[in-house]
């Protein structure tokens, strides 16, 4: 791959903190991409010094000439660009942010549960049991059907600025089906989570112990090759704290890192368990005690909030302000799934977090980018700095605030994933 210079950026969110500026904001900025990585970040007025005369290949008439006129005579060619030319992108004063990092999705599934959503809108409460409907539909779907649908979701994610995403299994709940969901997910992301402990499937309703043993044994072994993480739904109607701990410990023994679904439907032990096992994240966090908040604040475990769930289920939104003020690291994710949050839109998560959860626009954008990266324990994504993967989003807006200020508007103008403009 060649090089790309994005210049004339009105507002650049780097997520490299600067004296109280959480988002590390630069104005009148430029970013140089070489291959898959960011090579340089700085002032647009200094951009000309990063490239040589013969490397300019402008995508807009006049931009190359403008850069040439800015360059002093003693400029040396930017090392590493080579003779292949630099594509110059004029941002036109627009905002650039890091690509969104969606650290919690369930994208490999069959079927539809729109009727459940309609029922909830007329007062039926959400319950975890609906997962079994998706399990049945997923088992019945072919690999090609699942792969085609997954490709559509990935296209949705990219179109809305998501450049890194995690995918969970959990809609197969047999050894063969969980293994194929992990395999299909691994075709599109390295961030695959084994979630055999989503719910106990119908055929094991009277044999819970046998199912837990299956998840800890044969099913786990079948999914390990394609997975990085192990997760468990530690919640009433799903798995008890003791069952959850047993499953997570088994996963850790097989080299998988732990994550937890916790404290979604009511107070529970999910946060305690996640912190005790040094899980990368505990997700949902709708119902938290003071002890839960204190435990999170004293740990590396990220509280991943999923406001699309509350939008879809009419449960109360998590109190992000309480967590942030206590010093907890907060991430935002979509939880895209057919039952409780059928949206892949991280811009919507930002808008909901600002409107309903007490976050500032800067905090919400940070949580949806750098926060998600921390929830995946990634240091190469979630920010814009030299050496990081070149995942960037050019917004059709002057500032990141417009993500919340103009909810529902398609503000993503261009997306780069690993240096490639989609």
More reliable by pLDDT, 236 or 290: 290
pLDDT at 126: 78
Q: Are residues 315 and 211 in the same domain?
A: yes
Question: Cβ distance 224 to 232 under 8 Å?
Answer: no
Give residue 420's pLDDT. 96
The answer to whether the beta carbons of residues 1 and 36 sit under 8 Å apart is yes
User: How many domains are contained in the chain?
Assistant: 2
The average pLDDT across 86-92 equals 94
Residue 311: closest CA among 131, 74, 93, 120: 120
Query: Does 113 appear as a known binding residue?
Result: yes
Mark whether 184 and 81 lie in a shared domain: no
Q: What is the pLDDT of residue 17?
A: 78
CA distance 67 to 71: 6
* Pair (202, 345) in one structural domain: yes
Which one of 358, 375, 392 terminates a domain?
Answer: 375
Indicate the range of 73-82, 326-335, 374-383 predicted with least confidence. 73-82
Lowest mean pLDDT among 92-96, 124-128, 390-394: 124-128
User: Is residue 158 part of an annotated ligand binding site?
Assistant: no
User: Would you say residue 273 has pLDDT above 70?
Assistant: yes
DSSP string, 100-155: EEE--B-----S--HHHHHHHTTTPPP-GGGHHHHHHHHHHS-HHHHHHHHHHHHH
What is the helix (H) or strand (E) element at residue 338, kind and residue range?
none
pLDDT in tens, 2-16: 899 999 999 999 999
Q: State the pLDDT at residue 50.
A: 77
d(CA 405, CA 393): 17
**Do 263 and 306 reside in the same domain of the chain?**
yes
Please name the residues in contact with 335: beta carbons below 8 A apart, sequence gap of 6 or more.
104, 105, 106, 283, 306, 308, 309, 341
Show the DSSP H helices in 288-371 as ranges. Answer: 290-297, 307-313, 320-325, 346-356, 361-366
- Asked if 169 and 193 count as a contact pair (C-beta separation under 8 A), the reply is yes
**111 is known to lie in a ligand binding site:** no
What's the rounded Cα separation, in Å, for the pair 229 and 244?
Answer: 14
What span, in angstroms and rounded, lies between the C-alpha atoms of 411 and 173? 38
356 has pLDDT over 60? yes
Arithmetic mean of pLDDT over the chain: 92
- Per-residue confidence (pLDDT) for residue 58, from 0 to 100: 44
Using pLDDT thresholds of 50, 70 and 90, give the confidence band for residue 100: very high
Q: How many CA atoms lie within 13 A of 216 on its CB side?
A: 15
Checking if the pLDDT of 399 tops 60, the result is yes
The enclosing H or E element of 68 equals: helix 63-70
Q: Report the distance separating Cα 220 and Cα 241, nearest Å.
A: 19
The string of pLDDT tens digits covering residues 40-88 is 999 999 988 777 543 444 444 444 455 544 443 322 233 333 445 789 9
Q: What number is the average pLDDT over the span 187-214?
A: 97
The string over 383-415, giving b where at least 16 C-beta atoms fall within 10 Å of a residue's C-beta and e elsewhere, is bbeeebbbbbbbbebebbbbbbeebeeebbbbb
pLDDT of 214 > 70? The answer is yes
123: CB partners within 8 A, 6+ apart: none
How crowded is residue 87: how many other Cβ atoms within 10 Å of its Cβ? 17
The per-residue pLDDT for 52 is 54
Provide CB contacts within 8 A for 119, sequence distance 6+.
none
Mean pLDDT of the 197-208 span: 95
Rounded distance between C-alpha atoms, residue 272 and residue 53, angstroms: 59
* Residue 106 counted as an annotated binding residue: yes
In order of 48, 155, 259, 270, 348, the CA distances from 134 in angstroms are 54, 22, 22, 24, 24
The predicted model gives 125-144 an average pLDDT of 89
- Give yes or no: residues 90 and 40 share one domain: yes
Query: Is the separation of the CB atoms in 195 and 173 below 8 Å?
Result: no
**217: which DSSP letter?**
I
Backbone angles phi, psi at 364, to 5 degrees: -70, -45
Residue 321's contacts (CB-CB under 8 Å, 6 or more residues apart) are: 357, 358, 359
402 is in an annotated binding site: no
Give residue 87's domain range. 3-98+384-421
- Cα separation, 65 vs 51, whole angstroms: 13
Q: Does the annotation list 8 as a binding residue?
A: no
Known binding residue 226? Answer is no
Q: Are residues 21 and 56 in the same domain?
A: yes
Mean pLDDT over 153-157 rounds to: 98
Q: Does the pLDDT value for residue 272 go beyond 60?
A: yes
Same domain (yes/no): 301, 339: yes
Q: Is 231 annotated among the ligand-binding residues?
A: no
Of 83-87, 259-263, 291-295, the range with the lowest mean pLDDT is: 83-87
CATH of the domain at 199: 3.20.20.140
Q: Answer whether 164's CB lies under 8 Å from 381's CB.
A: yes
- With 0-12 / 13-18 / 19 or more C-beta atoms within 10 angstroms meaning exposed / middle / buried, residue 159 is middle
- Give the per-residue pLDDT at 128: 62
Q: Which of 49-58, 142-151, 166-175 has the lowest mean pLDDT?
A: 49-58
Identify whether residues 309 and 405 lie together within a single domain.
no
Across residues 285-310, what is the average pLDDT?
Answer: 98
Shared-domain flag, residues 46 and 181: no
Same structural domain, 249 and 109: yes
- What's the pLDDT score for residue 416? 98
- Looking at residue 17, which CATH number applies to its domain? 2.30.40.10
Number of CB atoms found within 10 A of residue 110's CB: 18
Q: Is 264 annotated as a binding residue?
A: yes
Pair (11, 57) in one structural domain: yes
Q: pLDDT at position 1, please?
A: 58
112 and 221 inside one domain: yes
Alpha-carbon distances of 377 from 2, 229, 264, rounded to whole Å? 29, 11, 23
User: 280 pLDDT exceeds 80?
Assistant: yes
Residue 323: predicted pLDDT: 98
- Looking at per-residue pLDDT, the higher value among 414 and 51 belongs to 414
């Amino acid at each position: 791959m060649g090089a790309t210079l994005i210049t004339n950026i009105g507002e650049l969110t780097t997520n490299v903190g600067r004296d109280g500026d959480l988002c590390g904001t630069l104005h009148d900025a430029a970013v140089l991409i070489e291959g898959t990585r960011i090579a340089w970040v700085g002032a647009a007025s200094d951009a000309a010094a990063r490239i040589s005369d013969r490397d300019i290949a402008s995508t807009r008439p006049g931009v190359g000439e403008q850069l040439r006129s800015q360059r002093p005579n003693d400029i040396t060619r930017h090392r590493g660009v080579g003779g292949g030319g630099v594509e110059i992108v004029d941002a036109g004063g627009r905002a650039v942010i890091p690509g969104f990092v969606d650290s919690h999705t369930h994208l490999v599934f069959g079927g539809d549960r729109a009727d459940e959503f309609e029922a909830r809108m007329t007062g039926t409460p959400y319950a975890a049991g609906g997962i079994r409907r998706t399990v049945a539909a997923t088992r019945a779907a072919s690999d090609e059907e699942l792969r085609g649908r997954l490709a559509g979701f990935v296209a949705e994610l990219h179109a809305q600025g998501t450049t890194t995403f995690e995918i969970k299994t959990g809609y197969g709940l047999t050894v063969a089906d969980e293994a194929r969901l992990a395999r299909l997910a691994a075709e599109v992301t390295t961030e695959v989570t084994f979630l055999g402990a989503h719910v106990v499937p119908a055929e094991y309703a009277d044999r819970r112990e046998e199912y837990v043993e299956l998840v800890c044994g044969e099913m786990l072994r079948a999914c390990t090759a394609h997975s990085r993480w192990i997760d468990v739904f530690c919640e009433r109607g799903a798995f008890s704290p003791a069952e959850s701990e047993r499953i997570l410990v088994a996963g850790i023994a097989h080299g998988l890192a732990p994550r937890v679904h916790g404290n979604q439907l009511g107070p529970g032990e999910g946060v305690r368990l996640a912190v005790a096992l040094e899980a990368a994240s505990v997700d949902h966090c709708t119902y938290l005690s003071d002890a839960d908040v204190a435990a999170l604040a004293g740990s590396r475990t990220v509280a991943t909030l999923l406001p699309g769930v509350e939008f879809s289920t009419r449960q109360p939104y998590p109190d992000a302000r309480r967590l942030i003020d206590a010093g907890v690291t907060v991430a935002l994710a979509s939880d895209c799934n057919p039952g409780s949050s059928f949206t892949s839109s991280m811009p919507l998560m930002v808008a909901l977090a600002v409107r309903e959860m007490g976050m500032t626009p800067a905090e919400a954008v940070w949580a949806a980018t750098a926060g998600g990266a921390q929830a995946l324990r990634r240091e190469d994504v979630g920010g814009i700095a030299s050496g990081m993967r070149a995942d960037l989003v050019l917004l059709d807006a002057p500032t990141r605030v417009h993500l919340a200020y103009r909810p529902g508007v398609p503000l993503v103008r261009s997306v780069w994933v690993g240096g490639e403009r989609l």
